[in-house]
Chains A and B, each alone.
Chain A
Amino acid sequence: MKYRENAAVRFVCFVLLPLLILIYSAINRGHYYSDLICLFGIHLILATSLNLVNGFSGMFSMGHAAFMAVGAYTSALLTISETQKARISGLPEWFQKFTLPFPLALLCAGLVAALLALLIGFPVLRLKSHYLSVATLGLIVIVRAFLDNEDQFTNGARGITGLPSYSTIFSVFLTGLILLYIMYRLIRCSSYGRGLIAMRDDDVAAQTLGVRIVTKKISIFCLSAFAAGIGGALWGHLQTVISGQFFYFTDSFEIVEMSIIGGMYSLSGGIVGALVMTFLPEILAPLETGIMIGGFQLPELYGASNLIMAVFLILLIIFRRQGILGDSEIIVESIFSKSTYTGIFKAETYRKLVDITKAKLTGKKKEKTAK
């Protein structure tokens, strides 16, 4: 336990090691592990943005794949070369030669996804809890049908190939950090975020206190879709091939799983969830091709890693419903300072503090519980 208080140890663990891994993988560009780290960065954006809707505003959307798909296609159409565009029949003349630089294409991807969210948000966000989830699942089906059948814009079920591979560790994590910072300021440091959390906890009470529920719901839904669109675009530029089948139920569930595993009610939860869901399947992947354990040749177990993840999710929901982090946040300052102990910010600590103060005021002696 002593080591956790040592600033040097913390610096090595939380800053130096991740940085070294990042630099090492960045040098081996195109290497399998650097792609995996990029994927982690993208998952991080997606899971955190889903947390905005599911954790902080009390709605439950499962349609993230739809926004990802819209973002990926937008960015793809804006960046692919002329020869690639010539294959897609229905594009207008001026668009054939029109390409945007990567950052602008990303921004457009986000904006188009947010526009879709705005359009469907007005009717759909009236629904409550799991009816909203089913409606957003329906959105995935609708978007998929559109992508597969509007051949003249999307090249149909064949998808778009030859996307420039712009997603490097640098670009992914830079985008991720910017988005995370915006989300963090918005949720944790503004009246907007406090109103949002109030709305989640009790919408009638929040409304009475002057929180504009409809505006809040729609704006946070759009913001979440904006980040999801950017995440989808980055995903497209990482894989360089996109088609409708990559953005379907399974992918949406994967993001929901990340958000649940890490903890819906915290932004850092998205990061932890993305970490678990990106690297755990990689560790379990050898099971699917059949490995030797203790002299036994295990047969190829197709789907084994998904199976184990599903069991893990069920156990987590039963025994720790709030996810790994719950409603705590990891705060950066605590990594460097000696005074904070665990590096994790807990609402619980404040509650204990309040209890102690109350006990002092009433003159009762109470055991000191907070650390």
Chain B
Amino acid sequence: MSFNYILGQLINGIKLGSIYAIIAIGYSMVYGILRLINFAHGDLLTVGVYTMLVLMGFSGLPIWLVILAGCIVSIMVGMTMERLVYRPLRGSGEETTLISSLAVSVFLQNLISMIFTPQKKAFHLPDFLTVNHSLGPVSLSTINILTMISIVVILIALTLLLKKTKIGMAMRACSDNLAASQLMGIKINNVVVVAFVIGSGLAALTGVMLAGEYKTIEPLMGFVPGLKAFCAAVLGGIGSLNGAVLGGFIIGIAEVLFAGLMPSDITPYRDAFIFFLLIVVLLVKPNGILGSSEGGRS
């Protein structure tokens, strides 16, 4: 096990971690405001990717336009589900909204498999995105580099949004205390819609990264990354932006290192390991690493 091997694994971990981190941001934003674990969040990723697949059938469209359109469709689906399902249920208990998000997730998965059949489909990004660059001991494709750059850009942009703008201030107020901010005249619906828009757009964006990584897509591809991103959000401290990113990196790196460095009998347990980690974190430090201390989790 050479130094280069470990370095390569570490880079892989960061690659995967940034994907989890971007999904976790969306999870964390919605959860912070509504206390809703949106299981359908991972499926928004699938919706975005399938839209891109359809649009890539029309040759001649530039790839950035395809990705943008995928994000827009995903955002629209996200807004629709907020309006039709989550808004009527707001304030009705955490389990109820949890189940409704589960039902939405099942709905989206089956809708996609009804339209596109449940078989795996090939997903080819243009060559300039998948070409490998060798940087010293490791080789990375363009899309990997873009992924890592985008997480930095997204983190800076969202931090600025939350700290400097009016809507960002409203979002922070809402995640602090929803009822009180309503009394202060903040339009909660707008805040929630903005959270869903950001979350869905980012989910579709990670869809490109995941599909570019695995080269195939299927209707259920979003669910497990979604769950892991939730683990990441909880680990880092749900409701906190930096926490989501930190958690994403920890989960991604832990998963890759677990698969790469452990003896081969226990590597199939990597998913189990992530969830075990989640349970331990929930028990030992229920508010996560960077989470604010707020009671009621354990």
B103 beta carbon closer than 8 Å to chain A: yes
Known: A302-B114, A307-B111, A317-B89. 6 other contacts (CB 8 A): A137-B275, A138-B275, A249-B223, A303-B110, A314-B107, A318-B89
Q: Distance in Å from the Cβ of A321 to the closest Cβ of chain B?
A: 6
List which A132-150 residues lie within 8 A (CB) of chain B: 133-135, 137-139, 141-142, 144-146, 148-149
Interface residues of A (CB under 8 A from B): 54, 60, 123-124, 126-131, 133-135, 137-139, 141-142, 144-146, 148-149, 249, 253, 256-257, 260, 301-304, 306-307, 309-311, 313-314, 317-318, 321
B11 beta carbon closer than 8 Å to chain A: no
Give A332 to B226 CA distance when docked, in angstroms.
45
B283:A123 contact, CB within 8 angstroms: yes
Q: Distance in Å from the Cβ of A288 to the closest Cβ of chain B?
A: 9
Q: Which residues of A contact B271 (CB under 8 A)?
A: 141, 145
B107:A127 contact, CB within 8 angstroms: no
Interface size on B, residues (CB 8 A): 43
Give A129 to B97 CA distance when docked, in angstroms.
11
Q: Distance in Å from the Cβ of B53 to the closest Cβ of chain A?
A: 17
Q: Distance in Å from the Cβ of B39 to the closest Cβ of chain A?
A: 9
Q: Which of A138, A260, A306, A321 contacts B279 (CB 8 A)?
A: A138
Chain B interface helix/strand/loop/mixed: helix
List which B13-38 residues lie within 8 A (CB) of chain A: 37
B114:A301 contact, CB within 8 angstroms: yes
B103:A313 contact, CB within 8 angstroms: yes
B59 beta carbon closer than 8 Å to chain A: no
Interface residues of B (CB under 8 A from A): 37, 85, 88-89, 92, 94-96, 98-100, 102-104, 106-107, 109-111, 113-114, 117-118, 223, 227, 230, 234, 265, 268-269, 271-272, 274-276, 278-279, 282-283, 286, 296-298
Q: Distance in Å from the Cβ of A299 to the closest Cβ of chain B?
A: 10
B89:A133 contact, CB within 8 angstroms: no
Q: Which residues of A contact B268 (CB under 8 A)?
A: 145, 148-149
Q: Which residues of A contact B296 (CB under 8 A)?
A: 128
Q: Which residues of B contact A310 (CB under 8 A)?
A: 103-104, 106-107, 110
A60:B107 contact, CB within 8 angstroms: no
Q: Which residues of A contact B89 (CB under 8 A)?
A: 317-318
A124:B297 contact, CB within 8 angstroms: no
Q: Distance in Å from the Cβ of B87 to the closest Cβ of chain A?
A: 10
A321:B110 contact, CB within 8 angstroms: no
